Amino acid sequence: MHYLLWNGSIIAYKFILILNFKMKAYCFLLLVLSQTFSFLWSAEKPHQFAKVGSDFIYSDLKKEDSREAVMNKLRKGGFLQIYEERDKELVKCSLRLNGFRYGLAAKLKKDKLQFCLIEGQKGWQFSFYEEVVQPQWKNLREILIETYGEKREHRKFPNLHDVPFNDEGGYLTDTWDLSDRLIMLTIQFFEVKDCCTDQMVEYSCCTLLIQPKPKK
């Protein structure tokens, strides 16, 4: 009789441990999911391309803003993954536009903001160019047409072999030459040494330059 009670107690105890573990795992899963969705929702925000005639380059960033001012504005604006590359005088962060993830780079010179560059995801995998680069490029083009109009110099999305290789200018597809800014949408094709294999790997991506013009 005592053996049966003892055995039953052990079984009940094990059941409680299993149940407790499952509850903890369930709570942990809910926490991870909530943080993930929180990240996705917080990162997704309406595009902040500045209107023609404003003093802003992108969002509330202004030409000749200091490094500290750029960092503070990005933090207050809810941008994520903000970091610096001081040797290149760059401040970078991530942003989402219509569900696509991009990087935003603010280029400074002598602690004064010069221009902004939006960069799509870089990749080398098979079919990456058609499946990732082209949709991200198309998304940017549609937002820019909506914001700045159809009038521009433009050409269609190129085949990858038509994009200049290791050329900083890339393949220019769209140019908005506006009264106060120059906006250039390009495709880039370049090679970078892979840190794991020490081999040169070919990458492609789309980029968008927003260059304010000197005031007259």
pLDDT digits (tens, 9 = 90+) for 28-85: 443 434 444 444 444 456 679 999 999 999 999 999 999 999 999 999 999 999 999 9
Instruction: DSSP letter for 165, please.
Output: B
pLDDT of residue 45: 61
- Annotate 32-57 with b (16+ C-beta within 10 A) or e (fewer): eeeeeeeeeeeeeeebebbeeeeebb
In percent, the amount of the chain with pLDDT more than 90 equals 71
- pTM of the model as a whole: 0.78
- State the pLDDT at residue 140: 98
pLDDT at 26 over 50: no
Tokens of 140: 């940017």
Distance CA 194, CA 78 (A): 32
